[in-house]
Amino acid sequence: MGVGGGVVSEPRGTSEPVLITEAQLSYEEQHAARKRKYMLMMGLRFPCLILAGVFYHTWWLALAFIALSVPLPWVAVLIANDRPPRKAEEVSRYQREATAIEQREHRVIDG
């Protein structure tokens, strides 16, 4: 057999492609995840209000459920609008080697 050749095969037991990059999720996938978080948090507001009505005899518990449901829309919007931070990437720039100045003596004229 020659050197340098070979067959690349899949890992045993899986047919999933191997991730070879650190690519971020696509914009659509990020947006869908943020929408799910928003819907979940806004969905929690209605049960909090229902529980506040159920526990109206225990005023402090009803007040706690109402107090929990008031900031939920604000928090849901903040979380839904939060995008993941961009990765800091190193910029690849060409750097040439510094050339040395001539090593011989130069005549200096003093005024």
Say how far apart CA 41 and CA 34 lie, in whole Å: 11
- Amino acid 80: pLDDT: 85
Better-predicted residue by pLDDT, 92 or 45: 45
- Amino acid 21: pLDDT: 63
The 3 state secondary structure assigned to the chain is CCCCCCCCCCCCCCCCCCCCCCCCCCHHHHHHHHHHHHHHHHHHHHHHHHHHHHCCCCHHHHHHHHHHHCCHHHHHHHHHCCCCCCCCCCCCCCCCCCCCCCCCCCCCCCC
Query: Token digits for 47?
Result: 């049960």
| Tens-place pLDDT, residues 2-44 | 455 454 555 555 566 655 566 677 788 888 888 999 999 999 9
Query: Which residue, among 82, 22, 70, has the nearest Cα to 44 in the 3D structure?
Result: 70
Query: Token digits for 25?
Result: 């999720």
| Tens-place pLDDT, residues 46-71 | 999 999 999 999 999 999 999 999 99
Say how far apart CA 51 and CA 66 lie, in whole Å: 9
- Amino acid 94: pLDDT: 72
pTM above 0.75, yes or no: no
Residue 96 has pLDDT above 80, yes or no: no
